[in-house]
Amino acid sequence: MRPTLLGRLARRIGRFALSGLLAAAAGTVVLAQPAAAAGGLTPVTGFGSNPGNLSMYTYVPAGLPADAPVVVALHGCAQSADAYHANSGWSKFADEYGFALVYPQTGPANNALSCFAWFDPADSTRGKGEAASITQMVTKAQALYGSDADRVYVTGLSAGGGMAANLLAAYPDVFAGGSIASGLPAQCATSQIGASSCQYGSLDLSPSQWGDKVRAQYPGHAGPWPRVAIWQGTSDYTVYPVNATELRDQWTDVWGISQTPSSTATLPGNTTLTSYDDASGEPAVQLYQINGMGHGLAVDPGSGAEQCGSGAAYFLDTVCSSYYTAKFWGLDQEGDGGGGTDPGEGGEKLPAPAGLAAGATTDTSVALSWSEVQGASSYRVHRGGTQVGTPTGTSFTDTGLSPATAYTYTVTAVAADGTAGPASTAVSATTTGYTPTCTTATNYAHVVAGRAHTGGGYTYANGSDQNMGLYNVFVTHTLKQTSPGHYVIADAGC
């Protein structure tokens, strides 16, 4: 490749590159026989024909039983399997919950910036190139560790996130769930030139058009579809936040569900979680929007149960995305990871609790009650797919909530041997009150986050319709939310 062309390639894809690691990664070589990695990773060879010229590394907790899940983790540009393993926090939950980790690795022999080729159909479609190599790694892991073929998941950052979306589309029969961090919709681009249009703007497609891109990858597949988590910083100017909205549109359409959230919750790190439930009331798609975060993977260093990872270039200290993704997939439970239920092992499953109802609500709490299930030793209460309580009785008050926010709950009954039954019918409740909030961001970011709208090239605050100036990433305002959906300009102070 001529230097001038390589330079253009680097500039075009460079905003996907993790610049702090670029110098070190440039000397990495993709090996047909991978060398041992640091940090406890094991190189694996002979996993198939490897048409994508990738290396395979694994992390397997001591004493991992047969029929455990597998999580495939895809690094970002100019990163390595070891860097992703060291900083993402996934190893902590592999140890705690019991699952194997597979780390595919690409390198400059494939791409000048060591990016997975999410934009190239020769690598991102069923049976082709890198996508085929990754599924061969899954098959190898199942052979080595006796893994559960029904509980295979894929997660990725940036270009790795774009490839994860393509894998979910091309192999819905392999992957039960996916997580896309600062990534792109499946088949958003089919060329390097098209990649820029996806990264920095919108293709202006309808949800059904986005969904068609998924359905076209494996024609005839009627489900089940993977459960998809989407992670995005609102101040990401490498992969613009509109990609998260388009991912939401794409996967809710594939599931045949509304783009209107079933519930909304506030998480640490200025994170807003919106869930989109399937017909059974379980979350099928979850969108995590992190206010003020730039391009990278959300981590939360620390020893707390909900903390994970290490801060580094493009591993950003906000919230532990690996924890919430693992919970969404059900990796903290035995069973099929179906978004909150726990089939368990050994005993007979109890029936779903009947009569789940939301009672008194306050600004920060919701009171729940349900009918007793004969033989239940305890119950598990899930809010938006995340377990929030394990009462032994038939009532529970969920606390620490946000004012004027809708939440969705389900309950499962747990037998004395730990076997949990199916989830109850979902019930929704909205907390009372309202706490004004202020957000400073560019006009573009305000529009993407739903605080403002555009018209004639200008930006207007939702509710008040105050003119905020041109719609771009250069004009910045502080908006104060004075009531749900109503914003006013508060540049002078909030």
- Active site amino acids: 158
| Structure token pair of residue 160 | 């790795």
Cβ neighbours for 273, distance < 8 A, ≥ 6 positions apart: 264, 265, 266, 267, 286, 287, 288, 324, 384
The type of residue at 55 is: S
Cβ neighbours for 5, distance < 8 A, ≥ 6 positions apart: none
- What gap in Å lies between CA 215 and CA 172, rounded to an integer? 10
Q: Measured between alpha carbons, how far is residue 156 from residues 15, 73, 208, 335, 391 in Å? A: 16, 6, 24, 23, 35
Between CA 185 and CA 190, with CA 188 as vertex, the angle to 5 degrees is: 140
| Structure token pair of residue 153 | 């998941």
- What gap in Å lies between CA 18 and CA 221, rounded to an integer? 36
Pick from 149, 219, 224, 212: nearest CA to 185 = 212
Residue linked to tokens 């703007």:
201
Residue linked to tokens 């914003």:
487
User: How buried is residue 128: exposed, middle or buried, by Cβ count under 10 Å (0-12/13-18/19+)?
Assistant: middle
Residue pair 204/243 in contact (Cβ under 8 Å)? The answer is no
